[in-house]
Chains A and B, each alone.
Chain A
Amino acid sequence: MASLKELKNRIGSVKNTQKITKAMQMVAAAKLRKAQEAAEASRPYSERLGSIISNLATSMVGSAGGPELLVGNGQSDTVLLVIATADRGLCGGFNTNIVRKAREEIVALEREGKTVKLYLIGKKGYDQLKRLYADQIVKFISLKEERKLHAGIAQNIGEEITGMFEAGDFDICKLVFSEFVNVMQQDAVAKTLIPAMEGMTDLPEGGETTQDLDGAIYTYEPDEAGILRVLLPRNINTQIFSALLENQAGEMGSKMSAMDNATRNAGEMIDKLTMTFNRTRQAQITSELIEIISGAEAL
């Protein structure tokens, strides 16, 4: 049995750990609120952009030879997976879930005989994936230095991806990230970015997305193709941006519940250790008493 001193030390160290996890939980809660607000604030933009593109896309369907970003370049041999994870750990299964989803995608695609390239955002995903797919990683960026997510980050990433597509480095681009459902639940999803047409299949047919124009015809300035040419790269930037925001909210939510669990576990451990501590002390006192009494009787 551990000595009293040892037990005391352990209780002290667990208490310290509990303090840390509790502080981390509170920080995560505050950050989660901010991240959620940011994600919500960006939603009007991405929704409007999505509906404009689907409007344009449906009107372009008849005419052959739409932009390659929209309809694809007719091939599907090389797939670029953009995998967004967090830069920090200690957030439960958050990063692992995204990586698992990414690996499922990679395995499925490779079974179909396709070449897979990886574009990694976030350190944790890189750490986990570099062991298996080091030679397939074309780019890795960490957002650790960025204090706050802003549209410029996503813009840089988006422009790079668009540039790679135009250079013919890949045919299809998929984005893997974690969709924020609520604090307890984040779903890792894979979404097709290029061709944009494919990613749109989940839009409600003719629902809210189509505008009632009272029979009027849209005027385009410049022409439709010109607008689409500018709009599509921007759509990629926006999708990446909202993925990053969702990820951030998910990371914080996940961290919050992970730290909440850790705090609770630490509490339980303290209770148990205190119990052992008291028992040990009591046993010591009892045995001392017995010694004294039996010593007195012997006299």
Chain B
Amino acid sequence: MADKLKFSLVSPERELYSGDVDQVDMPGTEGDLGILPNHSPLMAALSTGLITVYKDGVEDQYFVQGGFADVTPAGLTILAERSVHMDELDHDDLRSRIERAQKQVASLEGDAHVALSRDIDAMLRILGGKAA
């Protein structure tokens, strides 16, 4: 298939990725999403997890924490609240963030509690997966 997806990943600090790719997988708040070229317009909120970029058979992974994906006929834009390339992920920083979240989670109730617990799970998974 000749079609490519125009993809850009931006965080508040800088643009992390910009270019034509084959597929992008990302963690939506309602479940994981895979975006292929010519996807219908979509606006999705993202949770914590990994963004996988497929380009010419090569996979590239980014860590993302919160944000939005905006799919238009022009392409896919991900506005990540916080995002780094997996190679640049700071483990100590992530670990301290998990600890902070774990302290915080006890004081929360209802939806916020569920959301933060999911956040912690996702962060722990990433930390474990990378260390293994």
Query: Which chain A residues have a beta carbon within 8 Å of chain B's beta carbons?
Result: 38, 41-42, 44-46, 48-49, 52, 56, 150-151, 154-155, 211-214, 216-222, 226-227, 230-231, 234, 237-238, 241
Contact = CB atoms under 8 A, between A and B. Distances in A.
B5 interface: no
The 4 A-B residue pairs with the shortest CB-CB distance, nearest first, are A151-B12, A41-B14, A221-B44, A45-B10
B13 A227 contact: no
A42 to B, nearest CB: 6
Contacts of A217: 41
A216 B13 contact: no
Contact of A151 (B13, B15, B28, B45): B13
Contact of B81 (A56, A219, A234): A234
B74 interface: yes
Contacts, number: 80
B127 to A, nearest CB: 19
A42 B45 contact: no
Nearest to B18: A44
Given A211-B74, A213-B72, A222-B45, A41 B40 contact: no
B108 interface: no
Nearest to B73: A214
A196 B17 CA distance: 29
A211 B73 CA distance: 9
A70 B60 CA distance: 37
Contact of B43 (A155, A219, A234, A237): A219
Pick the most buried of B8, B12, B41: most chain A CB atoms within 10 A of its CB: B12
Interface residues of B, number: 26
B33 to A, nearest CB: 8
B92 interface: no
B12 A226 contact: no
Contact of A218 (B10, B15, B43, B82): B43
Interface string B69-101: 010111001010110000000000000000000
B29 interface: yes
Contacts of A154: 12
Contact of A42 (B12, B68, B72): B12
B68 A216 contact: no
Given A213-B73, A226-B45, A234-B81, A241 B12 contact: yes
Interface in B1-30: 8, 10-15, 28-30
Contacts of B29: 221-222
A155 to B, nearest CB: 8
Interface string B32-66: 01000000111111000000000000000000000
A211 B45 CA distance: 19
B82 A221 contact: no
Contacts of B10: 44-45, 48
B15 A211 contact: no
A151 B43 contact: no
Contact of B73 (A46, A212, A230): A212
A56 B77 CA distance: 16
A221 B43 contact: yes
Given A219-B43, A222-B29, A222-B45, A211 B11 contact: no
B37 to A, nearest CB: 14
B8 A44 contact: yes
A241 B10 CA distance: 15
Contacts of A219: 40-43
A108 to B, nearest CB: 32
B93 to A, nearest CB: 11
Contacts of A212: 73
A79 to B, nearest CB: 26
23 contacts: A41-B14, A45-B10, A45-B11, A45-B12, A45-B15, A46-B12, A49-B68, A49-B79, A56-B43, A151-B12, A211-B72, A216-B73, A218-B43, A219-B40, A221-B28, A221-B29, A221-B33, A222-B29, A226-B45, A227-B45, A227-B68, A237-B12, A238-B12
